[in-house]
Amino acid sequence: KPMEGRISDIGPRHFTEFLPPVIAKNFGKWDYHEILEPGLLCHTGVSGDKAYTVRCGTARLMTVTHIREICDIADKFCGGFLRFTTRNNIEFILESLDEAKELMKFLEAQKFEGGSYKFPVGGTGAGVTNIVHTQGWVHCHTPATDASGTVKATMDAVFDDFKEMKLPAPVRISMACCLNMCGAVHCSDIAILGIHRKPPIIDHKYLDNLCEIPLAVAACPTGAVRPSKVEIDGETYKTVAIKEERCMFCGNCYTMCPSLPLSDGEGDGIAIMVGGKISNRLTKPAFSKVVVPFVPNEPPRWPTMTKVIKKILDTYAAEANKYERLGDWANRIGWERFFEKCDLEFSAHLIDDFRDPAYYTWRQTSQFKW
């Protein structure tokens, strides 16, 4: 039914039309929630009603066939209601514990050819949940690495921690395939960030035909692009010039101008960041910091990247106090010790030069000893 004061014939239908009955009935009147076991949450309303949520991981990029399969499961077990979390988990919401357990058993039994889980149940509490990630080589125009491939390789390496809740606190892993950052790498415990390391290549002959030069100039956040002219084979072409020492390889100009591609087999790769969070539980929210400036692209399994991530995760799991997020642990022991314990090398590339307090990282303290 139309909401009061809302124009209801534009855009998607209002979300309240899709709420499971128990959620609609108790909307805004939930008392508390518990995690009964990995992948199973129970919300209790002030009314005493309970909603059981079964969470399972899945791929973010899905075929229509796969989405239909998920919808069929929802039809069979919980009246067709399901939701996707921001981290690409699927949640089925049920009204009885027995039904929830039956669904969990069913989901765990669904396997791909070869035996791997299709809908692994887990991703709750003090464990690793599914990775929020971006488009990668499959879709976007500026990726420096792949999203689906790096995420699959990482989740395989940390899968036990998706199925269990034995870490000191939740660990949120994110992935963005360029620093335009459609993922949540700035505020996750562990983050994978695709980075370019070379300035755009300029296709002088076609640039003026393909691009609006003022747009390409205006797109550059560092003012590295300016209008220019070049002579090729006796012909003069209107184009742009790039001041390379100003370029931070962000790809914004390429977004505006397809004649400025910057993907490069050797220059592109991954930076790893850690210590961010959006929760304000115990300590305030924090930005992630770069701890590994560059890991090469190594498809299909990215062994160097997964080794670094696994080492960080395992060291954190072994050393942090209960409830301590990864960044809080590093802050407590000191980042110098964090680098030592995780076998990471500290280099000048890790020191940034921002003076704005919103971006202070290593330089915020004279206590940092490198």
Residues that bind ligand SF4 (CB under 6 A): 134-135, 140, 142-143, 176-178, 180-182, 199-200, 219-220, 222, 224-225, 242, 247-253, 262
Smallest distance, ligand SF4 to C-beta of residue 194, A = 7
Residue 136 φ then ψ, to 5°: 70, -160
DSSP of 216-245, one letter per residue?
HHHH-TTS-EEEEEEEETTEEEEEEEE-GG
CB 249 within 8 A of CB 178: no
Residue 117 φ then ψ, to 5°: -65, 140
**What's the token pair of residue 297?**
């692209």
Amino acid at 117: Y
Nearer to ligand SF4, 135 or 150 (CB): 135
Smallest distance, ligand SF4 to C-beta of residue 174, A = 11
Smallest distance, ligand SF4 to C-beta of residue 220, A = 3
Nearer to ligand SF4, 126 or 242 (CB): 242
Torsion of CA 209, 214, 218, 223, to 10 degrees: 90
CA distance 153 to 167: 20
Torsion of CA 304, 305, 306, 307, to 10 degrees: 50
Nearer to ligand SF4, 78 or 177 (CB): 177
Nearer to ligand SF4, 39 or 251 (CB): 251
Smallest distance, ligand SF4 to C-beta of residue 20, A = 32
Nearer to ligand SF4, 94 or 191 (CB): 191
Smallest distance, ligand SF4 to C-beta of residue 136, A = 6
**What's the token pair of residue 10?**
């534009």
DSSP of 124-149, one letter per residue?
-SSSB-PPB---GGGT-SS-SS-SHH
Smallest distance, ligand SF4 to C-beta of residue 12, A = 22
Nearer to ligand SF4, 90 or 250 (CB): 250
Smallest distance, ligand SF4 to C-beta of residue 207, A = 13
Closest CB to ligand SF4: residue number: 140
Nearer to ligand SF4, 54 or 260 (CB): 260
List alpha helices for the chain, DSSP H: 21-25, 64-78, 97-109, 148-157, 159-163, 204-210, 213-219, 252-256, 303-319, 326-333, 335-341
